[in-house]
Chains A and B, each alone.
Chain A
């Protein structure tokens, strides 16, 4: 089933066009990887999906992005509600300078998701368990989140993202600052999370895209060059540019 449908999406930074007529369907409960060289527009596209480009003054987005058939670029769209439904994890782990517990409880608190301390405790525990971090931090819940290791911090950020039960999780190079073991833990987590969430991941690691995703889109110079099953893209892509990129023949 299609969760997100992008239609004729153009993005401009001032006069400079960053994305050209992007059309892309994203399947529900699947991992979609967006790959392409630096500056190709893959992160810009990712940021269109939860209107993160709104915070950049000179940025304008045209076209339709339908999530559950609702155009999120429509004026009636409540951006706060949208970002509750569409969580995001960034390249560098960015926990709040607060305790592990508060990092998780922040979102559910502002969205009024818990009626009692006990309910909040449950949300924190479930989120940390789903992010495969509970065992490592259950005795350190009231210590600063910034005191955790890099890999743990990133899982904390994932736990924070899933605490508000988003339907979609956007990940912008979530493993680029992590060692291989922490990377493997996040990849295992992505596999688990896709049962309940739709995941879109931007990555520079071709091997990671191949390992974690079911669908892959290849961006180049603001154009979506090819999109299809990961299996097909990495074994037998249709487009020469895609093949040149994934086999290391670019530029």
Chain B
């Protein structure tokens, strides 16, 4: 927040505190996503269990942010940039909470998977998840820097994630077709892939919110989309 400080110091503190909680919540999500991907690609149940446990922390951040936002609106009646900070924090916290849930779901499925997955499938998973992790990191950086242009870059990169998701889906389908015994694992992997893509979507939502926070106007135009997904889902 680059503006001059508020005359009322306690108000200034409350806004700073809200900002700090969003940053902490964002890094908790980044951490969980990283660990969830590490757990599934290296087949590490301990890490998967940490992700499942940590989701509670992320949920608590959401409740905390919500309480702070309600207090600010009720007691401070924020205006202009302060209003946008407050509203954006509320919306961001809800998308970040979903990211936490999806990382947890990936980890739950990780615990149910068999030990050996084909290398090209693991590679495909790694490619799409690396891209989503980068996207999440850039989004949080955009929030820290209050940078609309960084937010737009994230928004535009969603297209690439859609394409990598499709490639990964193709690998999973190939794996499913290879052997009937792959049915259980393959189904989990379809969901895992879809979850990673949805994390990308939530991240793009956050990027849109950051753009609004900085510019005070909405990002215009259709969100860039990749090739149509093979397995259709909500979007």
Question: Could you list which residues of chain A lie within 8 angstroms of chain B, going by C-beta atoms?
Answer: 206-207, 210, 234-237, 240, 242-244, 246-251
Question: What are 9 A-B pairs at a CB distance below 8 A?
Answer: A235-B216, A236-B215, A236-B217, A247-B3, A247-B6, A247-B78, A248-B6, A249-B3, A249-B5
Contacts of B6 in A (CB 8 A): 247-249
Q: A206 CA to B77 CA in the complex, in Å?
A: 10
Q: Mark interface residues in B6-35 (1 if CB within 8 Å of A CB, else 0).
A: 111001000000000000000000000000
Q: How far is the CA of A210 from the CA of B79 in the complex (A)?
A: 10
Residue in A210, A248, A251 with the greatest tally of chain B CB atoms within 10 Å: A248
Within 8 A of A (CB), among B124-145: none
CB contact under 8 A between A247 and B77, given known A236-B216, A236-B217:
no
Counting residue pairs across A and B whose Cβ atoms lie within 8 Å, the total is 44
B83 adjacent to chain A (CB < 8 Å): yes
**B4 on the interface (CB 8 Å rule)?**
yes
In-complex Cβ contact of A248 among B11, B83, B216 (8 A)? B11
B82 lies within 8 A of chain A by Cβ: yes
Interface of A is mostly: helix
Q: Closest A-chain residue to B87, C-beta based?
A: A235
Q: Check B80 against A237 for contact (C-beta < 8 Å).
A: yes
Residue B146 is within 8 A (CB to CB) of chain A in the complex: no
- Whether, in the assembled complex, B91 has its beta carbon less than 8 Å from a beta carbon of chain A, the answer is no
Q: Is B8 in contact with A246, judged by CB distance below 8 angstroms? A: no
Q: Knowing A236-B84, A236-B217 touch, does A206 contact B79 (C-beta < 8 A)?
A: yes
Give the residue name and chain of the B residue nearest to A242 (CB): B80
With a cutoff of 8 Å between Cβ atoms, the chain B residues found around residue A235 in the complex are: 79-80, 83-84, 216
**Per a CB cutoff under 8 Å, which of B5, B7, B79, B215 touches A246?**
B79
CA distance A207 to B5 in the complex (A): 20
Contacts of B216 in A (CB 8 A): 235-236
Q: What residues of chain A lie closer than 8 Å to B4, measured between beta carbons?
A: 244, 249
Nearest CB on B from A130, distance (A) = 30
- A206 contact set on B, CB distance < 8 A: 79
Partner of B80, one of A207, A236, A251: A236
Residue of A whose beta carbon sits closest to that of B83: A235
**A250 → chain B closest CB, angstroms:** 7
In the bound complex, residues from chain A placing their C-beta under 8 Å from that of B73 are none
Instruction: Tell me, in angstroms, the Cα distance from A54 to B66 when the chains sit together.
Output: 54
Write the chain B residue with the least CB distance to A210.
B79
Q: Are A251 and B79 neighbours in the complex by a CB distance under 8 Å?
A: no
Q: If A235-B216, A236-B216, A236-B217 touch, does A247 touch B8 (CB 8 Å cutoff)?
A: no
B81 lies within 8 A of chain A by Cβ:
yes
Given A235-B80, A246-B80, output 8 extra A-B contacts at Cβ < 8 Å. Answer: A206-B79, A234-B79, A236-B215, A236-B217, A247-B3, A247-B78, A247-B81, A249-B3
Q: In the complex, what's the smallest C-beta–C-beta distance from A230 to chain B, in angstroms?
A: 11
